[in-house]
Structure 1
């Protein structure tokens, strides 16, 4: 503790004191009924001419994801999953409309201090990734971590007990991710699922895939949006100092149960415009995020869904990773001196050797939490693709005003690329831990769809899950080259084994949103009537039909994808030269395909 104290300034001590004062004030405010705050909020809104009828305001007021999706005419189901260590998780499902199912399921997982709400916060329907996938015929599932507002149940421990909150990223990876994915596979009855993670959701999937070889065989592709693995540092010196100090300091500040439980109280107490300013200030202090790509109106909806409960221990786990700069498992006996003198090593997640899934990393160029060079060194070299979104930060990639063209389009292109290869005759048993041999005829065509700002949005042209009129009619492909032959045993740290190893008992409950509120599409300045009409058409019919109508415009994206025979980098030692050259050329081809905007 002494080294830490010597590094704190007078201002830092003041912050610590204010933290305790804030806890006391929030406890008092928590006793005041919500209608009292609503009354004062209405007075402030009237005085500043705030429009409560906007879609952003309606989204902000929705208590759950069911009401949020109902604003867009979409019904949501609840499904309960019992994990192997007896937590009860809630999965949210958007079932495909009758006659539109493309035979595929997708599983999305949220980030740190979040829940499934974050996926459907955008006022523009076409900027919510689950809605786009739903329109394309996917069976869409959104997961929730143990401890957040949708998953606060356990068979034996009440939420008020310390034992309920005794979990870290390890438990997310050991149980929550694999048990949720298995439930989706069993329910939909498909052999594989497409996985998409945001921030910590990506980290949980990296960890889960590295620990379970069989889980790799159940996932077709993995897309990591704003992926987190080994952040460099926090922008604020005090926060960075606390993060790299002994966990006992965190436990002293926040206890051992819920992290920042007062956040909910402040959210309902402070007027939304003021609350948003405070969130922006906090993000700027901690991460140097300026959030210029998220409009003030959009923040009204998104920031209200930014916080959901989790354990202090999971935050401490991130701080251990931050200090060690290794994506490692939780260290139970961690303290400042033990870290320097311990006679053992904390195991790291074997992400480089054990993950055998095609991976796409989409990250912001201004995101302090993403160290892309370190991340790529810790992932399989020949099966990982990365796309940088210039001028964007962490939250911009799901809530920014250009997510449709800069993020969603990349997701759809990546999935279509590998799906088209499978449709062309790749055997189901082939290993998917490397890039395919060079074949220019299997790239998925794209269709030009108008986005919300009137610009063309290229999305893969699919019909029932496979490309329409694939350019490769032969159906033949050489087998995939294996880029990794090494395997590693599953590593389990002491104390993380489940108390009960019985098979998960999964239950499902259907909860449909009974009323769907119609919302007029937002009109972006510069849009003409034709653009708006086309958007309405796309929202009202499945993408299969919409893309069929514009199939004449699908060839342009592929015109520039000629063979690129540039010299490749030095090959990995365990691959022959010809295979490496093929892998390199295919990587360049897909990279250019993903970077093609128009």
Structure 2
């Protein structure tokens, strides 16, 4: 007890100093970037891994007549999106949403003009203006954590259980909520999927904005004693089960971003060892859509001084405590969220830490994007992401055991079995239909994770009929959610390629 108090005091002092220094560096970086650096969305630095021809090699062929300048490697199911947006593609606008209508012709201009520029940290405020009711449910995990599950439904009609619409569960990234899928309003992926006829659900992992527990199951020392393994074993299972029960469906489409992709693919590729009963995630998911998939660490984790500092000391309770990770962030959110200053400060700090920018975003919507982050996470989860301790099973030290490069994660009788490639944990099945169809959207500018390594794995070791990849030259880690053309480059390709029964739409 006394030791916990000491840890709380020392970590509060150290993390406050850390955030203060980070804040100063971030502001300076933003000043230099805004006034002295050229505004070019392309990053010319090489990634840690290059995409190599797969073992099923074939020359790439240019796709003619496509508006997105795609080169397609048909044999390995990889689309290379080389489009670099012209200045005319994105509406010239200020942060208050105004622009010269006579200067630009843009099909999304009217959508932006109609968007509410007020900063309200509640999706209901915005989606009620679109005739959409955001229902809120609470879902309890087997280990006693209360999760928030949001659902889009028409505001003028009562929801009918057992709708024919195909359910789609959206799952967020680290330090975010699933509001990140919907913050762009009519230009968001969540809204696009809903308007395209899908039953859209937004799932949130444990603790979120306001931590809730079943006090009969969760003791005080367990409230923050969780990491990625628990989120896969309990949170993902609870969210998927709840959506399927409420929709009376047997399968859903899982759309995930960053950390959510780690959860999803861990559950799909390692379910035989994670779930201790007869629950099989591969039997519940029809399609898995991974945006900025985070299976392997990228070079940025070794380049940024502040990230290296966290990696070095994240396991020390003296530095970061043993409970919530940097609770000062949530305190500042409670005091400032809904102001332009809060959104601006959130942007500059994450921009500096993770090396992405807002070049491809609609400027009038940027402040809205940061209304739905950060969220509460445990120090133990951040330790899972950043720790360099080889004795612990973490993202940086154990990635090749969770997602082994030279094994087949989704084995199918036939081509790959003849090549004698070892299987991971899933047993062989007779056809690809028995696994989810996997769509990978990998941003080339994303140096936080190594998406190229994941593409190489699928090209070399996974059955061709199981997956399809998009490698987007100018996108970064958050552009897959917030770029001005995300509907064309993410939303429509998703709908054009996922498996959905004819009577489900």
Q: Is TM (by shorter chain) over 0.5?
A: yes
Deviation of the 1:49 alpha carbon: 11
Output aligned runs, 1:396-435, within 5 Å.
396-415=479-498, 418-419=499-500
CA shift in 2, pair 1:345/1:187, >3 Å = closer
- In the alignment, does 2:141 pair up with 1:83? yes
The equivalent position to 1:387 in structure 2, one of 456, 466, 470, is 470
Alignment pair present for 1:357 and 2:436: yes
Partner deviation per Cα, 1:59-100 (whole Å, 9 max, x = no partner): x21x33333322322112222222111212121122366799
Q: Check conservation: 1:107, 1:140, Cα contact below 8 A.
A: yes
Aligned residue for 2:41? none
Which residue of structure 1 aligns with residue 225 of structure 2? 166
Contact preservation (8 Å) 1:244, 1:323: no
Shift of 1:203: 0.7
SS of 2:216's equivalent?
A: coil
Partner of residue 348 from structure 1, selected from 402, 411, 419: 402
- Distance apart, 1:271 and its partner CA: 8.8
Aligned alpha-carbon RMSD (Å): 3.7
Q: 1:52-131 to 2 correspondence within 5 Å?
A: 55-58=115-118, 60-61=119-120, 63-95=121-153, 101-123=163-185, 125=186, 127-131=187-191
Cα distance, 1:243–1:56 mapped onto 2, change above 3 Å: farther
Give yes or no for the alignment of 1:283 onto 2:350: yes
- Greater relative contact order (CA < 8 Å, ≥ 6 in sequence): 2
| Cα offsets for 1:305-350 (capped at 9, x unmatched) | 2311111111110013x776x9x9459xx9xxxx9xxxx9995357
C-alpha spacing 1:77/1:376, structure 2 compared with 1 (3 Å): same
**How many angstroms does 1:408 deviate by?**
0.6
Q: How many residues align?
A: 366
Report matched runs for 1:22-421 at 5 Å: 55-58=115-118, 60-61=119-120, 63-95=121-153, 101-123=163-185, 125=186, 127-149=187-209, 152-156=212-216, 161-212=220-271, 214-234=280-300, 236-249=303-316, 251-267=317-333, 268-269=335-336, 272-320=339-387, 329-330=393-394, 348=402, 352=409, 353-354=424-425, 356-377=435-456, 381-382=462-463, 383-415=466-498, 418-419=499-500
How far is the alpha carbon of 1:113 from its aligned partner? 0.8
Say whether the 8 Å CA contact 1:102–1:137 is kept in structure 2: no
Contact 2:15 2:320 in 1 (8 A): no
- Decide whether aligned partners of structure 1 residues 237 and 51 sit closer, same or farther in structure 2, where only a CA change above 3 A counts: closer
Q: Secondary structure at the match of 2:470?
A: strand
Contact 1:195–1:222 (8 Å) recurs in 2: yes
Distance 1:223 1:51, change over 3 A: closer
> Secondary structure at 2:295's aligned position in 1?
coil
**CA 354–303 in structure 1, closer or farther in 2 if over 3 Å, else same:** same
Q: What CA deviation, in whole Å up to 9, does each residue of 1:22-43 have, x standing for no partner?
A: 89xxxxxxxxxxxxxxxxxxxx
Unaligned runs of 5+ in 1: 1-13, 24-47, 424-463, 467-598
Q: Which residue of 1 aligns with 2:38?
A: none
Structure-2 change in CA distance of 1:280 and 1:152 (3 Å): same
The aligned counterpart of 1:19 is 18
Give me the whole-angstrom Cα distance separating, in 1, the residues matched to 2:442 and 2:95.
Answer: 37
Q: Give, in whole Å, the separation in 2 of the partners of 1:400 and 1:120.
A: 13
Distance 1:121 1:215 in 2: 28
Please tell me whether the aligned partners of residues 330 and 376 of structure 2 are also in contact (alpha carbons under 8 angstroms): no
Q: Deviations over 1:231-263 (max 9, x none)?
A: 2233653224224425334x3333122122222
Matches within 5 A, 1:503-522: none
Distance 1:346 1:377, change over 3 A: closer
> CA, structure 1 residues 17+103, in 2 after alignment: closer, same or farther (shift >3 Å)?
closer
User: 1:1-20 to 2 correspondence within 5 Å?
Assistant: 18-19=17-18
1:105 and 1:135 map into 2 onto residues whose CA distance is 13
